[in-house]
Amino acid sequence: MKSIQDSYVMANGNKIPCVGFGTWKLTDPGTAADIIKTAIDCGYRHIDTAFAYYNETYVGKAIRTCGLKRTELFVTTKLSNGSHGYENTLKEFEMSMNNLDIDYVDLYLIHWPRPYAIRDTWKEHLEGTWKAFEELYHAGKVKAIGVSNFLEHHLEALLETASIAPMVNQIELHPRYVQRDVVRYCKDHRIVLEAWSPLMKGEFNYPVLEELSKKYNKSIPQILLRWSVQHGFIPLPKASTRERMLENADIFDFELTEEDIEALKELEAYGMTGSHPDTATF
């Protein structure tokens, strides 16, 4: 990979840009669309949103007014926790499409595998949800389908009844939380890995990160994003300023050594920054 516009190839042959732009918490009606348009102007071609982010309308506006052809952009949205099951999935997808006001979605993901309200019946709901996903895929309304926050047992449950395997799994990934087992499983099954919270929610006060920042004359966010790229993950960094967007994209002119990667393993002692898929209370 040599730039944020370079791509991986998913199991269905479609391409997905190697760095995305995250939009969680971009909900200000006065600025959200302009921030996303700025990201596109900075070279980002992969925009990640979700029904639960309450910003699909702003994402859609940015896509429609950025000056690029629709085919030049890769757009992801996600099914919310309150809409699992066959009928609910189809209803919410139409709501997402109305919000986005675009002809198709490049990638549609199940946001979480075991929502709190259906924790005891999640497998039953998952079967219906994925059936709807497969129908949307066959209809051409989505170009690829996948999941988010799925561990191995969630993926195994899905594959028991699926006709189409998920093409992407978006999970929390960064040096503090490497999730080796599910990463290995996904790579073995040709499931592309996306990294949410690749910047560890801004928790940068670790000597090893400061040392690597000085060594390469790069910011700590650049070190963390480079870590993702070198592991074959697609990071989804967020930023609100052009300066930070450009900085986050400038990660292809250096390479962490094996010794650097090994040194970063000490951060694993600090663990995740988000919720566990089997115990999240939402």
Q: Which fold has domain 7-269?
A: TIM Barrel (3.20.20)
Which backbone phi and psi does 74 adopt, to 5 degrees? Answer: -115, 115
Tokens found for residue 256: 């962490």
From residue 209, give the alpha-carbon distance in Å to each of 15, 238, 250: 32, 19, 17
Average pLDDT for consecutive 10-residue bins of the chain (282 residues)? 97 98 97 98 98 98 98 98 98 98 98 97 97 98 98 98 98 98 98 98 97 98 98 98 98 98 98 96 94
Write down the pLDDT at residue 51: 98
Instruction: Please give the Cα distance from 80 to 239 (Å, whole number).
Output: 23
Residue with token string 């996903």: 133
Which active-site residues does the annotation give? 53
Write down the pLDDT at residue 274: 96
Residue with token string 């992969």: 46
Contact 96, 56 (CB under 8 A): yes
Q: Which is nearest to 236 in space by CA: 218, 219, 248, 253? A: 248
Tokens found for residue 224: 């963390």
- Alpha carbon 20 to chain centroid distance? 7
**In the chain, what are the domain boundaries?**
7-269
Q: What beta strand segments (E) does 91-236 contain?
A: 107-110, 145-148, 168-172, 192-196, 234-235
Write down the pLDDT at residue 100: 98
Write down the pLDDT at residue 232: 98
Write down the pLDDT at residue 155: 98
Quick one: angle between helices 220-230 and 242-249, nearest 10?
A: 40
Write down the pLDDT at residue 19: 98
